Structure formats: C-alpha cells, structure tokens
Structure 1
Amino acid sequence: MHAFTIDLEEWFCTHNFQGIIAYEDWDKLESRIGGQTEQLLELLDKYHVKATFFVLGWVAERHPELLQSITRAGHEIGSHGFSHQLTWQHSRESFKQDLALSTAAIQAVLGSRPTAFRAPAFSVIKQTDWAIDVLKESGYETDSSVYPVSVHPEYGIGDAPLAPYRWANGMAEIPLSCVQYYNKRIPISGGAYFRFMAYPLYRKLVKQLEKEARKLNFYIHPWEIDGDIPKVKGLSYQRRLRHYTGLAQVKPKLERILGDFEFTTLSNAFQS
C-alpha cells in the first residue's frame, strides 16, 4: 500500500507567494481551508483511505476543529512547521523555535504531540541537514522532507537514496518518490508534478515504482482541489505556472488514483 499525505496549509501560505503576501497579513485574507479539507475528507472516506496530514502550526491554532475532524476520521497527524518558512531561511535556533511552536499548537488541540515532520517545500537540503538533529532533539522520529532530485531550484538532494533510509542520528527518512530513467530521476510524488502530468503517464510511472517493489509517497495540498483560489498578482511566470496550472483537474485525477491504487498513512505504508 502506498502513502497518501496532505500538507495542511491555507492557499496563501505557500512559498510561491513569499515576498508578495507577508506572513503578518495572513490573518487578513480569506480562509478557504475548511471547505477544501472537508472535500478531501469526503474523498478519502469514499475510498476507505486513511492518510497523514502534515499540519502547519499556524493553521492548528486558528482551526482546531479541522484537526479534531481529521483525527476523528482516523487519520494521522504530523507537523509541517509553524510559519511555513523554508528550512534554509532559518537559523538552527529559529528552526527549533518554529518547530516547538508547531508541536505545541498541535498538542494543545489533540492532547498528543506529532512524531513525523515534513519541511515546507521539502527544504531539508544538504546545507540544512542540521535540521535532522534538531528534529531528533525535539522528539521527532520520522522525517519526510527530502526530495531526491536536482531539478528544482529551491529544494532537493540529488544523490539521496530513493528508498527509505536512516540518518546518522537514527532519524528515519521517508523521501519523496522518484522514478529512475537511465541517469535521470523523475519526481512523481504529487503536487505540481501530479497536476502537470497526463494521468495515464502518471499511472504508468506509479506502476513502474511497484515493479521496483517501491511505494509511492504521495502528497497534495488542500488548495490544489480548489480551482477558485484567488489569483495573486506579481508572481513570476514560473511561479504562476507552478501554482495555478491544472487545479481544475486535480479532484477528478484524485478520484482516479484512489480508485487505481491502495493507500494508507505514511507510518503504515513505511513501517520499519
């Protein structure tokens, strides 16, 4: 069974909007995450899938009812940090503080703390592998932040293992999924890669993973099923393309992938 994960954040929290929408202005913007998450929960229930939600602490503070609905439905909760700053935008100390805020916000709602983490925009890279030690020191057991590719300008560890592995400190790493094609790695975990590809091609690549006895670590954001999210002005062409392309097709494509493959939580799919 493959892993189905959701990075639970508002439509305006994305790194694509940094420098255009200030963190201090988030509370002034329209919240759309409630309806988006409800649609995802209904879809997961329809296909009897339990998923892992990596929750932004900022969202946990403002929408405790969402976390309660997610856990009542039997899904797993992990941390996505608090402020959606990328790891390489932090110092070691500020990352530790951000992580602590996220942990506390989730624990305040659920009464228990998460043990799995995913960095915003997969931003654990070679220059920030110190974050793994901070996670370990903070009581986390599993990280799912490494994208083993070198094609993206802001994230990726191009020579990282494709299969799950352990860091030197014992922390389990569940990397995002790639298919090896000759000497190239094709990223297929989800998000924009899922939106950009025609579904028959995407399905073929997941089947290739299965032939290699590997599992898909799939992810999606709630805003990606919402074709009516506000259009933000001032984005570069690349960021506008990356953010808005294919939104209208995500929900029907999710129906197809959930019908074609079996999914479960990250911890169940990748039990050590």
Structure 2
Amino acid sequence: MNALTIDVEDYFQVSAFDDHIPRTDWPHWPCRIERNVDLILGLLERHGVHATFFTLGWIAERYPALVRRIVDQGHELASHGYHHLRASEQTPAEFRHDIDLSKQLLEQLSGQAVLGYRAPSFSIGRRNMWALDCLHAAGYRYSSSIYPIRHDHYGMPDAPRFAWHPAGQSGVLELPVSTVRLLGRNLPAGGGGYFRLLPYAVSRWALRRINSRDGQAGIFYFHPWELDPDQPVPQGIGLKTRLRHYLNLRRTEARLHRLLADFRWGRMDHIFLGNA
C-alpha cells in the first residue's frame, strides 16, 4: 500500500512564482482550485482510492465547502501551512504562528484532528531542524517535509529515505517523499514535476522497486494545478521555471489514471499511524 498525497495550492501560489506574484496580489488572480480539486476527487472515487490532502490555510479559509467535500469523501486533511511560506525563511516564532493558524483553521472546518504537515517546497532540512520541535509542540504527529535528494531549491540528501524519527524515539515522525537509490545517489521517485517531465514508465519502475526491492510503502505527491493545462501564465517568468511548471500538463490526468490502476493507494495516517 502506497500513500497518495496532494498539495492543495493554486497555480499562482507556487514558490517559483514568488518574485512575480506577491502574496498581496493573490486575491486578484482567478482561482481554479475548486475545479481542479473536484476533478481529483472524481478521479479518486472512480478508482476507489483515499488520499491525504495537504491543504493551505489560505485556500481552506476561502473555500470551506471544498474542505468539507474532501473530508466527506473519506480523505485525510493535513496542513500545508497557511501562507505557503518556506519554513527555512521563517523565524521559529513566525513558523509556529503559521502552523498553529493552519491547524486550528483546518480542524474547525473539518471537525477532525489534523495530524500531518508538509512544508512548502520541502523546506525543512539540516539548518532548521528546530521546525520539527515546533510541529511536535503544536500537536502534529507526522511531517513530510524533508526530501532526501539534492535539488537547487531544497533537499537533504543524507537524510533517511524512509520513515524516521529525527529526534530519536520522540517527536514527530518524518515521512519523506519517495526516492530510489541508484549509483550511490537518491533519485526522486515520488511525483511532482518529475512525474510530468519523465516518461510514465520511469515512475512505475521506481515505485515497483521501492515496493519490491526495498519492501517499503511509496509516498507520491502532485498538485491540483498539474491537471490544469488552461491555467493563466504569469508574465516575465524564466524559461527554466516555465518548463518545470507547464510541460506536459495535458498528460497528467491520463498518467494519474494509470498510476492509480497500477498500484494500491491509501492515506498517510492509515498507512503510517494505523487508523489514528
């Protein structure tokens, strides 16, 4: 059983657009989150799959009915923070305020405990491990925020590839997005842009290797905007960012259908915390 996760943010909120779309302008951009999440909910229902939705507080506050649809269909609601701020760019006090605010808001809207957190851009690493102590103090039970790869914007390549307790046997459980070990390096195998940029066969091979050779559950993620080829395009973004964000958007939905059919999927809390 592998864990399927969705980072619920809209296209204009991605970290790569921070220099082009300030947060003060977010309310002026047309939101497409309801259309895209409803498409995902229909896809999951068709395949009989339950997933974990790491949801921005900013989105939840403006679309409370969407949050309730997610929960009513049997999915786990988890936190992606409130403002989509990188944990590495916040002070401990700022980070604690953000994770408290999002957790309280999501719990009020859903009527359920929020146990999981994923930092925007996987922005917990060697230099800010204090963030895990903040999560534990705020009542979170697990994090999926440390990506054990080498990347130009994030990553902690020497971190464990599978579930681990960064603070020993206490504190939050860290559940990293999946990687495969090849030629002495950890390579991404858990979705995101790699799922769109590379042939589907690569993702299928990697997850099968994790399940069979490593004997572990895979953790896969994607964003609602990755199923939306008609989203607006901000002006002035560079070629590298444009390729990472927009390439193969029209193929994502069909690939997800194949992925859901080829593997068994479930929620993060059910797989790693029992039925908590």
CA distance in 2, matches of 1:221, 1:201: 19
CA distance in 1, matches of 2:238, 2:88: 21
The match for 1:222 is 224
Deviation at residue 99 of structure 1 after TM alignment: 1.0
The match for 1:204 is 205
Contact 1:104–1:113 (8 Å) recurs in 2: no
Deviation at residue 199 of structure 1 after TM alignment: 0.8
**2:185 partner amino acid:** K
CA distance in 2, matches of 1:260, 1:215: 14
**1:53 partner amino acid:** F
Farther-moved stretch of structure 1 (82-91 vs 166-175): 166-175
The match for 1:166 is 165
CA distance in 1, matches of 2:83, 2:116: 17
Deviation at residue 184 of structure 1 after TM alignment: 1.5
CA RMSD of aligned residues (A): 1.1
**2:61 counterpart of 1:61:** yes
**SS in structure 2 opposite 1:248?**
helix
The match for 2:155 is 156
The match for 1:186 is 187
TM-score normalised by the chain length of structure 2: 0.96
**SS in structure 1 opposite 2:48?**
coil
Deviation at residue 113 of structure 1 after TM alignment: 3.5
CA distance in 2, matches of 1:167, 1:26: 35
CA distance in 2, matches of 1:261, 1:238: 32
CA distance in 1, matches of 2:270, 2:111: 22
**1:140 partner amino acid:** Y
Residue segments in structure 1 that go unaligned for 5+ positions in a row: none
The match for 1:239 is 241
**2:89 counterpart of 1:89:** yes
Deviation at residue 61 of structure 1 after TM alignment: 0.3
The match for 1:8 is 8
CA distance in 1, matches of 2:136, 2:19: 31
CA distance in 2, matches of 1:210, 1:95: 34
Deviation at residue 270 of structure 1 after TM alignment: 2.3
CA distance in 2, matches of 1:112, 1:47: 24
The match for 1:25 is 25
CA distance in 2, matches of 1:269, 1:182: 29
Q: How many residues align?
A: 271
| Runs of 4+ in structure 1 over 4 Å off | none
**SS in structure 2 opposite 1:219?**
strand
Contact 2:60–2:67 (8 Å) recurs in 1: yes
The match for 1:135 is 135
Deviation at residue 107 of structure 1 after TM alignment: 2.0
TM-score normalised by the chain length of structure 1: 0.97
**Identity fraction in percent:** 37
Residue segments in structure 2 that go unaligned for 5+ positions in a row: none
CA distance in 2, matches of 1:82, 1:260: 34
String of CA shifts for 1:225-262, please: whole Å, max 9, x gaps. Answer: 00111111211222111111111110000000001001
Deviation at residue 112 of structure 1 after TM alignment: 3.2
The match for 1:39 is 39
**2:253 counterpart of 1:251:** yes
Deviation at residue 171 of structure 1 after TM alignment: 1.3
**1:145 partner amino acid:** S
CA distance in 2, matches of 1:106, 1:209: 32
Deviation at residue 163 of structure 1 after TM alignment: 1.2
Contact 2:132–2:171 (8 Å) recurs in 1: no
The match for 1:106 is 106
